[in-house]
Amino acid sequence: MTPTTTPAAHSPLDQKILEHFPGLVVRKDLTTELKQNAVVPTYVLEYLLGQHCATDDPTLIAEGLGTVRRILAKHYVHRNQAELVKSTIKDKGTHKVIDKLTVTFNDKAGFHEVEFTNLGIKKVPIDDSYVKRYPKLLVGGIWAITDVEYELPVDPKSSPWQIAGVKPIQVAGVDHEAFLAARAQFSTDEWMDVLMQSVGFNPEHFSRRAKLLTLIRLIPYCERNYNLLELGPKGTGKSHIFAEFSPHGMLISGSEVTAPKLFVSNANGKIGLVGYWDCICFDEFAGKDKKVDKTLVDIMKNYMANRTFSRGIEQLTAEASMVFMGNTQKSVAYMLKHSHFYEPLPDKYIDSAFLDRIHAFNPGWEVAPVRHELFCTGYGFVVDYIAEVLKHLRTEDYTGLYKPFFEVTSEVSTRDQTGFEKTFSGLMKILHPNGKATPEEIGDLLNFAMECRRRVREQILRIDDTFKPNDFAYRNQQSGTEVLVLTPEEQQYPAFSGPRLQQPDAPGPVEQAPQETPELSTSSLQEHHLVVPENSRGWSYRRLFGDYLIGASGIIIRDPYIRAFHQIRNLVEFLRMVNEITPIGDEVSVHLITSSDQESMEKQVENLGQVQDSFAGTSTPFTWEIDASPNFHARSITASTGWKITLDRGLDLFQWFEFNAFNAAAVVQEARLVKGCEINFIAMKP
């Protein structure tokens, strides 16, 4: 697909960005288009686009885009073309390559060696001057444009590959005063939109709170030793900023890290990742099956609290921020009613001392899943430029800028105060880098920061009764108004909130929230045979099945014909019905067993996968499997309550109807004509 070189029209915001940050911005859809053919971080592509396409002139963009494509085609190393590139270097004698370099020290030979990630060549000698200039070569590696030479050595044990030059792919520097002067030309709302576009999202599809939930992910880049936790459904772009945004961040799998890799190796004295990176993100941090080294947890606790770690008897310090990203499978109400938000984490990390070091808990379940329309097509900063701006801001301290306007009136712990003050400081740096904002704006950021820390504290209270509950409140110095900070989930589910829920086997009643459950009687349910007349109306899944599914914890649907679009839409409506009859805070898992054919399988698998993803985190988690048995014909619904419902048509009960927003049949099943079917309700023997 060829990218367009001219957007439909510049928005006023795009025009303003281009006016005040000339040469430092790029059209984000160009990055998206190029990325389809080059598996490189966004900051690498935008470095090249910033060199050649930082303009709004369609002709220059077209020319620059052509140049970038030629550079990538000629110099970027695809893994499957590594041998061709090696041959090119041999034939030409020297050649520039774009690849990721990682350096190790050969202690036997006494020199440093490079490994090229995609090119696949190893043990290439590199001059010590490059290692001293770019120490990140030793920990995690860097992307660079490298001059590689080939010459057969006299000594057959020596490498024929030589390095003549290394140029890291990142901007040379930032004029911070010029940045602040340009920022002053934008309102706060405009600036939030500039940042959203810069991280690749269309701000029109985000509320102000949704923007804050996204931009809080930038704090680890501008705030030293900041510890952030985010848990939520998969597909919400949690790790995007940490994988693509900045050359100063490192994304690693939560299960791959070791104490020597992260902190220091006592065997050789090498400092680990915390000594070289501004931000370290642990992706896929959740998961009960993850193997965790308890020693690592203890070292992390000390580092996250004091910025220190030890090498033998020597105490070392570092400034790297820690980010923990993981997926949740349960709904917010379910976790509040039955456990706590930390439940998805490996058991060794469900440690109150470790969790108390977290400065903010970002509610990932509030973040919308990433969809095509959410991506930005306008202008944003070349990400490497804004990454350098944020790195410069790490030297500033904005933690106390709220104090002339607001006073914290609740008795919060030192860790609580440190937590929300560091979050407040980071948000101020991101949105108001000159440290100046209106009292209203400062109050909004303080409230959000306190909420994110309160979520940390409230969930710790559920796992450790030595922690004492306390309010999070502040007073407006001018008006005298006091604000009590609560999290949205506390306000939505007040009966499930609080330090510790009473256990089911404990004496006394457990207070429950009023449930909006249907008034269906299950005491008179009987086995029976039902005939649904052809061409009749007034039938729905809820009327037919609802009574028999109430109280179930699990449901299995066997239907070989959940393939076509309308059949999968029926499935979604069934899941919605189950969701509606499930009490708040409970969960009913639904598993589908269906079949397929060669013609429809690819689309069927894609659609069922979307259904599974969309219902993850609801009170109706959905899973499915394909049964290839040729004798699979019978259709039924089996509930854990002991009822089995056999259906000769499965879920495909309804006749065709026009699917549009103004047709009652599209939203009300009772308004549809049915095909006619027979249904049996059978009580299964225990």
pLDDT of 500 reads 57
Nearest partner of 659 among 570, 562, 571, judged by Cα: 570
Greatest mean pLDDT among 5-9, 292-296, 421-425, 563-567 lies in 421-425
pLDDT of 376 reads 85
Helix or strand or coil: residue 507?
coil
pLDDT tens-digit readout, 337-375: 999 999 999 999 999 999 999 999 999 989 877 777 778
What architecture is the 528-683 domain classified under in CATH? 2-Layer Sandwich (3.30)
Q: What mean pLDDT is predicted for residues 212-221?
A: 96
What is the distance of C-alpha 36 from the center of its chain? 20
Give 505's pLDDT tier (boundaries 50, 70, 90). very low
Distance, in Å, from the CA atom of 292 to the CA atom of 296, rounded to the nearest integer, reads 8
Element (H, E) at 57: none
Distance, in Å, from the CA atom of 103 to the CA atom of 138, rounded to the nearest integer, reads 5
Tell whether the model's pLDDT for residue 517 goes beyond 70. no
Q: What mean pLDDT is predicted for residues 173-198?
A: 95
pLDDT of 373 reads 73
Q: What mean pLDDT is predicted for residues 222-237?
A: 91
Integer CA distances (angstroms), 51 to 109, 200, 643, in order = 39, 19, 67
Tell whether the model's pLDDT for residue 541 goes beyond 70. yes
Tell whether the model's pLDDT for residue 502 goes beyond 60. no
Distance, in Å, from the CA atom of 134 to the CA atom of 477, rounded to the nearest integer, reads 49
Distance, in Å, from the CA atom of 218 to the CA atom of 381, rounded to the nearest integer, reads 14
Tell whether the model's pLDDT for residue 567 goes beyond 70. yes
Distance, in Å, from the CA atom of 359 to the CA atom of 308, rounded to the nearest integer, reads 17
Nearest partner of 148 among 97, 219, 99, judged by Cα: 97
Distance, in Å, from the CA atom of 80 to the CA atom of 83, rounded to the nearest integer, reads 8
Burial class of residue 370 in the structure, from the number of CB atoms within 10 Å of its CB (0-12 exposed, 13-18 middle, 19+ buried) = middle
Nearest partner of 406 among 488, 470, 483, 471, judged by Cα: 483
Kindly provide the residue ranges of all beta strands, DSSP E only, lying in 132-226, ordered along the sequence.
142-150, 161-168
User: Quick one: CA dihedral 352, 355, 360, 363, positive or negative?
Assistant: negative
Do residues 674 and 535 make contact, with C-beta atoms less than 8 angstroms apart?
Answer: yes
Among 69-83, 501-515, 578-592, whose mean pLDDT is lowest? 501-515
Among 457-461, 565-569, 612-616, whose mean pLDDT is lowest? 612-616
Q: What mean pLDDT is predicted for residues 38-55?
A: 82
Distance, in Å, from the CA atom of 195 to the CA atom of 176, rounded to the nearest integer, reads 17
Give 38's pLDDT tier (boundaries 50, 70, 90). low
pLDDT tens-digit readout, 588-604: 999 999 999 888 899 99
Q: Which residues contact 450 (CB under 8 A, 6 or more apart)?
A: 420, 472, 474, 485
Distance, in Å, from the CA atom of 288 to the CA atom of 292, rounded to the nearest integer, reads 10
Distance, in Å, from the CA atom of 433 to the CA atom of 191, rounded to the nearest integer, reads 11
Give 8's pLDDT tier (boundaries 50, 70, 90). very low
Q: What mean pLDDT is predicted for residues 394-399?
A: 96
Distance, in Å, from the CA atom of 43 to the CA atom of 391, rounded to the nearest integer, reads 15
Nearest partner of 89 among 166, 175, 9, 152, judged by Cα: 152
Tell whether the model's pLDDT for residue 451 goes beyond 80. yes
Q: Which residues contact 374 (CB under 8 A, 6 or more apart)?
A: 201, 202, 205, 368
Give 233's pLDDT tier (boundaries 50, 70, 90). confident
Give 7's pLDDT tier (boundaries 50, 70, 90). very low
Describe the chain by its helix, strand, coil percentages, rounded to 5: 35, 20, 45
Task: Compute and round to an integer the Cα radius of gyration of the chain.
Answer: 29
pLDDT of 513 reads 38
Question: What rounded mean pLDDT belongs to the chain?
Answer: 89
Give the pair of three-digit tokens for residue 268.
Answer: 């050789």
Do residues 146 and 97 make contact, with C-beta atoms less than 8 angstroms apart?
Answer: yes
What is the distance of C-alpha 4 from the center of its chain? 29
Distance, in Å, from the CA atom of 331 to the CA atom of 341, rounded to the nearest integer, reads 10
Distance, in Å, from the CA atom of 541 to the CA atom of 603, rounded to the nearest integer, reads 25
The region, left, alpha or beta by phi > 0 then psi within -120 to 50, assigned to residue 282 is beta
175-187+201-384 matches 528-683 in fold: no
Distance, in Å, from the CA atom of 608 to the CA atom of 20, rounded to the nearest integer, reads 47
Give the ranges where 394-523 is alpha helix by DSSP (H).
414-431, 439-460, 488-492
Backbone φ, ψ for residue 315 (5° rounding) = -95, 130
Domain 79-168 CATH assignment equals 2.40.128? no
Tell whether the model's pLDDT for residue 654 goes beyond 80. yes
Residues in the chain: 686
User: Higher model confidence: residue 38 or residue 625?
Assistant: 625
Among 237-251, 403-417, 518-532, 641-655, whose mean pLDDT is lowest? 518-532
What is the distance of C-alpha 372 from the center of its chain? 16
Distance, in Å, from the CA atom of 100 to the CA atom of 97, rounded to the nearest integer, reads 10
Do residues 194 and 17 make contact, with C-beta atoms less than 8 angstroms apart?
Answer: yes
pLDDT tens-digit readout, 234-287: 877 778 788 878 888 889 876 668 888 899 887 777 888 998 899 999 998 988
Return the amino acid letter for 109.
Answer: A
Do residues 134 and 81 make contact, with C-beta atoms less than 8 angstroms apart?
Answer: no
What architecture is the 175-187+201-384 domain classified under in CATH? 3-Layer(aba) Sandwich (3.40)
Give the pair of three-digit tokens for residue 114.
Answer: 């490079």
Q: Where do the domains of the chain lie? A: 79-168, 175-187+201-384, 397-492, 528-683
Distance, in Å, from the CA atom of 213 to the CA atom of 210, rounded to the nearest integer, reads 5
Element (H, E) at 216: none
Give 50's pLDDT tier (boundaries 50, 70, 90). confident
Burial class of residue 599 in the structure, from the number of CB atoms within 10 Å of its CB (0-12 exposed, 13-18 middle, 19+ buried) = exposed
pLDDT tens-digit readout, 605-638: 999 999 998 898 899 999 999 998 888 989 999 9
Give the pair of three-digit tokens for residue 193.
Answer: 């939109």
The region, left, alpha or beta by phi > 0 then psi within -120 to 50, assigned to residue 585 is left
Distance, in Å, from the CA atom of 98 to the CA atom of 365, rounded to the nearest integer, reads 38
Return the amino acid letter for 373.
Answer: E
Give the number of other Cβ atoms within 10 Å of residue 286's Cβ. Answer: 21
pLDDT of 248 reads 87
pLDDT of 520 reads 41
Do residues 213 and 367 make contact, with C-beta atoms less than 8 angstroms apart?
Answer: yes
